[in-house]
Structure 1
Amino acid sequence: MDPWLRDLVAGTVAGSVSTVFMHPLDLLKIRLQLDGNLGTVLRSLRQSDGPYAGKFRGLYKGLYRGLGINLLGNAAGYGVYFSLYGIVKKMHLFDGPHGYFFNALITGTATSIATNPLWVLKTRICSTNAGHVDAYSSMLDGVKRIYSQEGIKGFWRGQIPSLLGVVQAAVQFGFYDWAKEQVKLARSRDPSNSYDISLTKEGAPSYLSTKEYLLLSSTSKAVSTVLLYPYQVVRSKLQRYDAGKMYSSIGDCISKIYSNGGFFAFYRGLVPNLLRVLPATCITFVVYEKVNEQLEEVR
């Protein structure tokens, strides 16, 4: 199987698995970013009026609203990202330690632009209950209404702050890939290592242990998230269904967030986000690596 296809399949599977498990926390993160109060968010799942008007139809249904678009977005996003990243690396545009970051930056930019419409739909679906007067009844309904009300540019709302998120992804992915290579190199120089792993033709270990994948993926994600989390809050604000009425520009959005909550308003939803992204990242990278390892054996 060609490497790019192997990465595409492994990335798609990894994104799908992590999304199914972690979607409820993703939904809570979005609503906390928009409303800022956990009590309000939890009550919104039960209210018949208010910001998320709609009858509570069970915890499962409430917490899994928007799963379809989130699953589609993450499956496509991770599949394209992992596959394109491998292609960009083979082009050798950048060499040395900084190459990991810039390769990830190029990959992330292309993936972000291609998938932004999915994230606009996801944010709007997850920010309202099914009974809300402005809620989309389906993904297709959302596409039709965005196009009719806002035109094609509506699908790329929040794109600029999303591109800032590419920097976060580049920091995370670049660090992860660099650290993974350093572990492999260190192990290849240590003839006494006793890990049960396969070797490349050159004798260097090609696979890491599951614990090592978990450690490297969680560390890279935690650092990049804390450094660049504020952009996610700004992006969510700009992608909500009534953003055009609330904010005249990105600067206006940032100003209103600060005036309404100060510096810490840019970190609303950080804790549930970390609780979501760390396990999700670990699941994603471990599943990706393990599926990739299995596919590598397919001839």
Structure 2
Amino acid sequence: MSRRDTLVHLFAGGCGGTVGAILTCPLEVVKTRLQSSAIPLYISTVQLSTVNGAAMTRVATPGLLHCLKMILEKEGSRSLFRGLGPNLVGVAPSRAIYFATYSTTKEQMNRMLEPDSVPVHVVSASTAGFTAITATNPIWLIKTRMQLDARNRGEQQMSALQCVRRVYQTDGLRGFYRGMSASYAGISETVIHFVIYESIKRRLLETRAATRMDQENEMARDPSDFMQMMMAAATSKTCATCIAYPHEVVRTRLREEGTRYRSFLNTVSTVSREEGFKALYRGLTTHLVRQIPNTAIMMATYELVVYLLGH
């Protein structure tokens, strides 16, 4: 792969990640709040009447709309964009590193193994995920801390710089790498996603080539091609997310300020024992509502930018 090709994938990956992050930031904030151990702040109690007239209190399971309403009422609309700064700072280099590493590794693996086979996609996605996580974890920790910093209307919100200082003063440099073990576990989601995505993409390209054999410019693309890529990305990401979602909850818990969780397995065990196994899937609906369009937008933007730059 030439230097220009690598730069094209870097730029395309950065563009895709940035566009997706901006459009889906409010859902990201809600999802993080639902995953945290501070979830009782968003749970409402419902008074029920029994047959004999006695009152009974039931705890209502929090959801996307309920949490969104609570944030808007107590903190204001600006809180729905908490952490957007670190997100924008991190998403471009993170996605750029990821896509550049993925494409470079895939190029090398295609020479060593059967081209575009499942092992090639697995190794490429794993390598890209590990590289991006290791390089950018401190940025995502700051983003999570800011999203969990719930303050009432009128109160001064913590800035990214203040958050960095608090993390360093409390935990030192090691504090910036909390939750990285859960992120490494989450590589499985990325691997599943790309294996399914590449398979669907290959079949779509084969179908397109077969139906356009008589056309003069077989490589020309129309809007339907990008819609198909978006659907492929959404489908593959949904499957991967449902399988690997618990690592998201574990990562959020490990990144909380003053967290009592110590490791990936310790968090899984503690949450399951104290809150039930279902707690490991809190925020899944919100995550899917956010992640599906985010991934579709990101992948479609990536493919579009690569295509426009003539790769």
TM class by smaller structure: 0.7 to 0.9
Q: Does 1:214 align with 2:230?
A: yes
Percent of residue pairs bearing the same amino acid type: 30
Report the counterpart of residue 241 of structure 2 in structure 1.
225
Q: 1:46 to 1:138 in 2, by over 3 A?
A: same
Q: Does 1:285 align with 2:299?
A: yes
Q: Does 1:76 align with 2:97?
A: no
Q: 1:185 to 1:121 in 2, by over 3 A?
A: same
The one of 276, 279, 283 equivalent to 1:262 is: 276
The one of 82, 103, 108 equivalent to 1:65 is: 82
**Which moves more between the two structures, 152-161 or 90-99?**
90-99
Q: CA deviation at 1:156?
A: 0.8
> Any stretches of 5+ residues in structure 2 without a counterpart?
40-61
Asked if the contact 2:101/2:127 (under 8 Å) is kept, the reply is no
Q: 1:293 to 1:150 in 2, by over 3 A?
A: same
Aligned-partner Cα distance in 2 for 1:94–1:149: 47
Aligned-partner Cα distance in 2 for 1:223–1:274: 10
Which secondary structure does the structure 2 equivalent of 1:106 belong to?
helix
Q: CA deviation at 1:271?
A: 0.4
The one of 12, 23, 26 equivalent to 2:25 is: 23
Report the counterpart of residue 111 of structure 1 in structure 2.
132
Q: CA deviation at 1:149?
A: 1.5
Q: Does 1:273 align with 2:287?
A: yes
Q: CA deviation at 1:256?
A: 2.3
**Which moves more between the two structures, 255-264 or 38-47?**
38-47
Aligned-partner Cα distance in 1 for 2:167–2:295: 31
Which secondary structure does the structure 2 equivalent of 1:24 belong to?
helix
Report the counterpart of residue 56 of structure 2 in structure 1.
none
Aligned-partner Cα distance in 2 for 1:271–1:136: 28
Aligned-partner Cα distance in 2 for 1:248–1:2: 43
Report the counterpart of residue 7 of structure 1 in structure 2.
9
Asked if the contact 2:145/2:256 (under 8 Å) is kept, the reply is yes
Q: 1:274 to 1:195 in 2, by over 3 A?
A: farther
> TM-score under structure 1 normalisation?
0.84
- Residues 167-198 of structure 1 deviation map (CA, whole Å, 9 limit, x = unaligned): 11111123212331233234435565779752
Which secondary structure does the structure 1 equivalent of 2:91 belong to?
helix
> TM-score under structure 2 normalisation?
0.81
Q: CA deviation at 1:89?
A: 1.3
Q: CA deviation at 1:44?
A: 4.7
Asked if the contact 1:197/1:208 (under 8 Å) is kept, the reply is no
Report the counterpart of residue 160 of structure 1 in structure 2.
181
The one of 174, 177, 181 equivalent to 2:202 is: 181
- Residues 150-180 of structure 1 deviation map (CA, whole Å, 9 limit, x = unaligned): 1111111011111011111111123212331
Q: 1:275 to 1:41 in 2, by over 3 A?
A: closer
Which secondary structure does the structure 2 equivalent of 1:151 belong to?
helix
Q: 1:41 to 1:188 in 2, by over 3 A?
A: closer
Q: CA deviation at 1:102?
A: 1.4
Q: 1:214 to 1:84 in 2, by over 3 A?
A: same
> Any stretches of 5+ residues in structure 1 without a counterpart?
48-55, 200-204
Q: CA deviation at 1:101?
A: 1.4
Aligned-partner Cα distance in 2 for 1:248–1:6: 40
**Which moves more between the two structures, 282-291 or 248-257?**
248-257
Aligned-partner Cα distance in 1 for 2:165–2:123: 36
**Letter aligned with residue 103 of structure 2:** G
Aligned-partner Cα distance in 2 for 1:197–1:130: 56
Q: CA deviation at 1:270?
A: 0.4
Q: CA deviation at 1:211?
A: 2.1
Q: 1:162 to 1:94 in 2, by over 3 A?
A: farther
Q: CA deviation at 1:220?
A: 0.6
